[in-house]
């Protein structure tokens, strides 16, 4: 067994049919975990799980598909129940799925848009965590990872409500780690900078914004999904066994630069 060995572990990863979520599912499977690929569209979940199984063929890891809309509590309850049917337990929860239906001044966001951001980015993570914590308590073992954003640690003129939700996600990880650390449940958040995903395409595909984003980054580039996925493997594996209640900022150094 190596420090990054996930063999025998079962991981649910929300929003895992593309971008950061897919990279996480692939890397966890490559490190031996049995992963649950989940997003709203069942056909995409099936496709990605097949492709992951082809990727890890002959190795310990594998994937199954269970579709779920994170805004529907009954979908998340079904996700947890179906995972237990397939694999018996849940060792790792990665809350990656999120929404951001608004870009602009805080004065322009409507209530529906605000509620969608808070429901999808905070409430759903709270729901899912509460669903899996009891079995982790019973086993005295479990890992919860919440994908946040540097929007939760810096001010923003056009992504303010999204940043509010991501700051709350950091607090949620801290609170879970504080309350349930005694049960050997570790909860941490990851705050990526700008990553080359479809979710953030409106930002990195804008030459003016991209220039501004990379100008303050010592590495002079934006990130790739696997650069976030590697951190989740660390946090979920024995290598991260003493990490609890923290937020890992992975942004190429942007937030520490002038």
Query: Is residue 188 one of the residues assigned to a domain?
Result: yes
5 falls within a domain: no
Token look-up 């919440």 returns: 146
Q: How many domains does the chain have?
A: 1
The CATH code of the domain that includes 61 is 3.40.50.720
CA distance 24 to 20: 6
Residue 2 lies in a domain: no
The verdict on residue 255 lying in a domain is no
Q: H-helix or E-strand containing 124?
A: helix 124-139
Report CA dihedral (77, 127, 177, 227) to the nearest 10 degrees: 80
Establish if 198 belongs to a structural domain. Answer: yes
180 lies in which domain range?
A: 10-250
Q: Which residues are catalytic?
A: 162
The answer to whether position 143 is within a domain reads: yes
3-state secondary structure at position 200: coil
The residues pairing with 214 across neighbouring beta strands, listed in sequence order, are none
pLDDT digits (tens), the chain, 258 positions: 799 999 999 999 999 999 999 999 999 999 999 999 999 999 999 999 999 999 999 999 999 999 999 999 999 999 999 999 999 999 999 999 999 999 999 999 999 999 999 999 999 999 999 999 999 999 999 999 999 999 999 999 999 999 999 999 999 999 999 999 999 999 999 999 989 887 767 666 777 877 877 888 899 888 999 999 999 999 999 999 999 999 999 999 999 986
Q: Is residue 58 part of a domain?
A: yes
Give Cα separations from 16 to 98, 115, 214, 229 (angstroms). Answer: 11, 23, 26, 11
In a domain, 256, yes or no: no
pTM of the model: 0.95
What DSSP element (H or E) covers 49?
helix 42-55
CB 229 within 8 A of CB 24: yes
């Amino acid at each position: 067994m190596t420090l990054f060995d996930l063999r025998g572990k079962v991981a649910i990863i929300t929003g895992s049919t593309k971008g950061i979520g897919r990279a996480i599912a692939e890397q966890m499977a490559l490190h031996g975990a049995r992963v649950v690929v989940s997003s709203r569209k069942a056909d995409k979940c099936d496709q990605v799980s097949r492709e992951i199984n082809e990727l890890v063929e002959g190795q310990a890891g594998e994937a199954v598909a269970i579709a779920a809309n994170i805004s529907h509590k009954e979908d998340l309850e079904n996700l947890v129940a179906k995972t237990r049917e397939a694999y018996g337990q849940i060792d790792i929860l990665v809350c990656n799925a999120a929404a951001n239906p608004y870009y602009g001044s805080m004065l322009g966001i409507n209530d529906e848009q605000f509620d969608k951001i808070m429901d999808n980015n905070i409430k759903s993570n709270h729901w899912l965590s509460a669903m899996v914590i009891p079995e982790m308590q019973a086993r005295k073992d479990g890992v919860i990872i919440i994908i946040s954003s540097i929007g939760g640690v810096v001010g923003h003129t056009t992504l303010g409500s999204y940043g509010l939700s991501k700051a709350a996600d950091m607090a949620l990880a801290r609170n879970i780690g504080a309350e349930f650390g005694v049960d050997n449940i570790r909860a941490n958040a990851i705050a990526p900078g700008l990553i080359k995903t479809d979710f953030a395409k409106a930002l990195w595909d804008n030459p003016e914004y991209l220039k501004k984003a990379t100008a303050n980054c010592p590495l002079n580039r934006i990130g790739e999904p696997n650069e976030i996925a590697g951190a989740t493997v660390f946090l979920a594996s024995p290598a991260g066994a003493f990490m609890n209640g923290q937020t890992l900022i992975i942004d190429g150094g942007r937030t520490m630069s002038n």
